Amino acid sequence: MSILPTVAERRRQVLVGPLPDDFLRLIKPSSSSSEPMDPSAAAHVATPSQPAVYSFVPPNTRGRISVTILEANLAKNYGLVRMDPYCRLRVGHASFETPTKLSGGRTPFWNRIVHAYLPVGVDSIFVQIFDEKAFSADECIAHSHILLPPGIFNGETIDEFYPLTGAQGEGKEGLVHLIISFAPLEAPIAHPAYQGGPTYPDGSPAHQPTADAPAAVTGPAFTDDDVKAVKEMFPDIDEEVIRAILEEKRGNQDATVSALLEITN
């Protein structure tokens, strides 16, 4: 006699009946929670569109620039069958890319917003438009070196088309549509130093302050190999910026990588 269960026995073990309404569904948390919400959390929920506050600002930073890469009107379609364009934006040593617009052709539309820290002394950005290839290297079909409009440093938002350069000639490859704005860094609040102290009547011995022992000078908590390892993960970030973040994070590479991801995103 076979010990394997027959088809009829297997069917008798199957649960037959109506399924519950929440079968294979995630249970939504109840919105009527009796616990009071933290005021800061409530303010964050009330204003979801507020910009994120980054915990680290690179040294020699002038402010935060926002560039909306809306669209491009290209002079020619360089694809054999179709053209899949994407745009690369470089601000200082950091670079950002839009998603690829499949079959975008001569009029790709991206509508990608890029937030980046603007280093001191940088007064321009560099834009490149590539055609993504499936079996070969992506081809740069247009580029433009754009001087930042002076009006953005006075609080203005500039909405403008900028000419592109490529195989058709300088400024003849089409136009790219950008919206640029700038926000300066907020100056840190200087707290006045406490200068008060106990007073003594004339003739009474006052406490003589003793000189504190000098603090031991310690070297950095990371090595050049640590800097090199982080640099390999972020080749577009300047090495001095990586060193500054490693010093702030006391050599913690995981925290350093998280801070760099905040900068580049």
Lowest mean pLDDT among 19-33, 61-75, 78-92: 19-33
Interval 29-57 mean pLDDT: 50
Dist. CA 237–CA 230, nearest whole Å: 10
Q: Return phi, psi of residue 122, to 5°.
A: -90, 120
Work out the percent of the chain whose per-residue pLDDT is above 70.
67
Confidence band of 43 (pLDDT split at 50, 70, 90): very low
Least confident of 208-212, 228-232, 240-244: 208-212
Section 58-67 average pLDDT:
90
Is the predicted pLDDT of residue 49 greater than 50, yes or no? no
- Bridge-partner residues for 142, per DSSP? 129
Rounded to two decimals, what is the model's pTM?
0.53
The CATH number of 224-264 is 1.10.8.10
For helices 239-248 and 253-264, angle between their N-to-C axes, nearest 10 degrees? 130
**Domains of the chain, residue spans:** 61-184, 224-264
Position 251 pLDDT exceeds 90: no
pLDDT per residue over 119-158, tens digit each? Answer: 999 999 999 999 999 888 999 999 999 999 999 999 999 9
- Give the pLDDT confidence of 88-99 residue by residue, as tens digits: 999 988 999 999
Judged by average pLDDT, the poorest of 40-44, 135-139, 165-169 is 40-44
Write the pLDDT tens digit of every residue in 10-36. 666 666 667 667 666 666 655 444 455
Coil vs helix vs strand at 258: helix
Q: Sheet containing 61-74: give its strands across.
A: 94-97, 85-91, 124-131, 139-147, 158-166, 169-184, 61-74, 109-119
Q: How many CB atoms lie within 10 A of CB 263?
A: 18
Is residue 159 scored above 80 in pLDDT? Answer: yes
Q: How confident is the model at residue 163 (pLDDT cuts 50, 70, 90)?
A: very high
The correct CATH number of 61-184 out of 3.30.470.20, 3.40.50.300, 2.60.40.150, 2.40.50.700 is 2.60.40.150
